Amino acid sequence: MLPCQQNLSDQHLVQIVDDALSDAARRSGAWLACRPGCTQCCHGTFAINQLDAQRLRLGMSNLEVHDPARAARIRARVADSLARLSAGFPGDLKTGLLHETEEAQRKFEDFGNEEPCPLLDPDSGLCDLYAARPMTCRIFGPPVRSGEENGLGVCELCYRGASAEQIAFCEMVVDPANVEDLLLEKLEKLTGLHGRTIVAFCLRP
């Protein structure tokens, strides 16, 4: 049962999604190959919404208080990433928001495909802001439905040898009550910020 809509928070959303992941992982067993140090999903830019961006910025602020050295390393990787990505960024360099035209969306499909996420610690292979990571990162790996036409999508490293029925059994039902949409709408009304960005621009000083 969900809390009253007025009392919903990003913490509720994170708990819902993390519980769904735990359940999918339990049903998947050894088919789910995701492990600490596996960084395939940490390469390639991806769009995040304003709720993700707010969570990351709050996580970064907390890290700067509790582990300033780690935070400084993230800041350095953010600067390096921006230097590589800014020239071809299909969005507004001032705001960091992606353009929403069809042409911009096509360009984004081939944009920064090899770029490591600035949150990825290259030495440990771990995420330096794991607790604040975007929703895309939280649901990557298990079978997730992306529209009725596209069916279930899975990480190419996972579910090797599993049948279509076995994969379907492991489906992760991410957010059945659409809590993310509710929270995002509320946040965008509150802040006046709309649209999607990427991690590097989100954490730009």
CA angle 25, 59, 80 (to 5 degrees): 100
pLDDT of residue 150: 61
Cα distances (angstroms) measured from residue 169 to each of 30, 33, 34, 151, 155:
14, 16, 18, 13, 16
**Burial degree of 19 (CB within 10 A; 0-12, 13-18, 19+):** exposed
Contact (CB, 8 A) for 47 and 196 = yes
| Each residue's pLDDT tens digit, 127-166 | 999 999 999 999 999 999 876 556 788 888 999 999 999 9
pTM to 2 decimal places: 0.91
At 169, list the tokens. Answer: 């059994």
pLDDT bin (cut points 50, 70, 90) of residue 205 is confident
Rg (CA), the chain: 17
Q: Provide the CA 70 distance to its chain's centre, in angstroms.
A: 20
d(CA 201, CA 52): 12
pLDDT one-digit tens code per residue, 40-99: 999 999 999 999 999 999 999 999 999 999 999 999 999 999 999 999 999 999 999 999
* Residue bearing tokens 């299909």: 90
- Provide, rounded to the nearest whole percent, the portion of the chain with pLDDT above 90: 87
